[in-house]
Structures are given as structure tokens and as C-alpha cells.
Structure 1
Amino acid sequence: MISSIIGAIIVGAIIGALGRLILPGKQNISLVATIVIGIIASLIGGVILGATAYRNANGGIPWLAWIVGAILAAIGITLYGRMTGRGSRV
């Protein structure tokens, strides 16, 4: 239980950071918001890939899941910035 929570936080931080790297400029959001958005993006990405019957048949790193999660995190960070008035600064 605890290890899955810690794993979700770590994956959320990585996915959120990748999402921020995709976006141009500096995003004025906190680390906690980045992690939460990353966790949500990772979960939504997993649901989308699960609905399309995607399977990582060869084992290894599930690159498609990371890419979809990062794109969804970038979208989430953009939406969060617009809702809170903390848009990116170029």
C-alpha cells in the first residue's frame, strides 16, 4: 500500500516534469501541483491505453504510456495555469 503510494508520487513527479518540459517558457506552478497533475495524467493515460487494448508485450519500459502521460500532463499544466491565472512566462 505505502509502496504503491510512493511509486505514484515518483511517477507523478516524473510525468509532471516531462509535461513541463514539453511546454515553452516557465510555468509558474508549484512542485506539489506538478506532482498531482502528473499523477492524474498518468492515471488517465493508463485508462486510455487500457481502453485501446495496449499491452507492453515485450516487457521493458512502456514508452507509449510515458509519452501519453507527458502529453496529458502538459495539457493539464496548461489548463491549471489558465484556471489559476498562473500562465507560462516567456
Structure 2
Amino acid sequence: MAIILFTIIGGLTGLASRLVLPGLRRMGLVSMLLVSIVGGVVGGMFAATFNATGPLFVPRPHNIVASVLGAIIAVGIVYVVERRQTEV
């Protein structure tokens, strides 16, 4: 259940980043959604690894925050790499 939540959070973060970062217009909407979904799932899983008593995919507040941060970091990395490629 939590992996679906992390996927939805990543997708919503990708849509929000599409509105905030104008330089990502060259990247397609589907590509941006995939990058942010992967970032959201990885961020949620990363936070869940610090919870040694429970399963990996648990929708807890710190996992949700880490999912959002993971998606933002993934989109930010793509944004920086894309800007450097256009400058060269």
C-alpha cells in the first residue's frame, strides 16, 4: 500500500516541479513523472530503512516526507544535468 502512496507522492511532486522549474520543458511530461516517481519511491524506502522494527513500505510521516524530498532531489539532479548540457 505504501509503495502506491510513494508513487502518487512522486508523481504529484513531478507535476509541481513541472510548474515551478521552467527549464524542464524540454523533458517530456512522462519522463519527468518517471524520474520523480523513482525519486519518491527511493526516498520513501531510504527513510524506511532506518525503521528497523517494521516492514520497508510503511506510510509513516517521516517516510512520506522523505518520499517528497527524494522526488525533489531526483528532479533537481535532472534539472542541473539538463542545464549543463544546454550550456555546452
Structure-2-length-normalised TM-score: 0.56
How much has 1:27 moved relative to structure 2? 4.3
Which residue of 46, 49, 60 corresponds with 1:48? 46
**5+ long unaligned stretches in structure 2:** none
Runs of 4+ in 1 over 6 A off after TM superposition: none
Q: Percent identity?
A: 14
Output the CA distance in 2 between the equivalents of 1:26 and 1:66.
26
**5+ long unaligned stretches in structure 1:** 1-6
Count the aligned residue pairs: 74
Q: Which has the higher helix share?
A: 2
Structure-1-length-normalised TM-score: 0.55
- Residues 1-90 of structure 1 aligned to structure 2 (within 5 Å): 7=4, 11=8, 12-18=10-16, 20=17, 25-28=21-24, 29-53=27-51, 62-85=60-83
Q: Name the Cα RMSD after superposition.
A: 3.5
**Contact 2:43 / 2:69 at 8 angstroms: preserved in 1?**
no
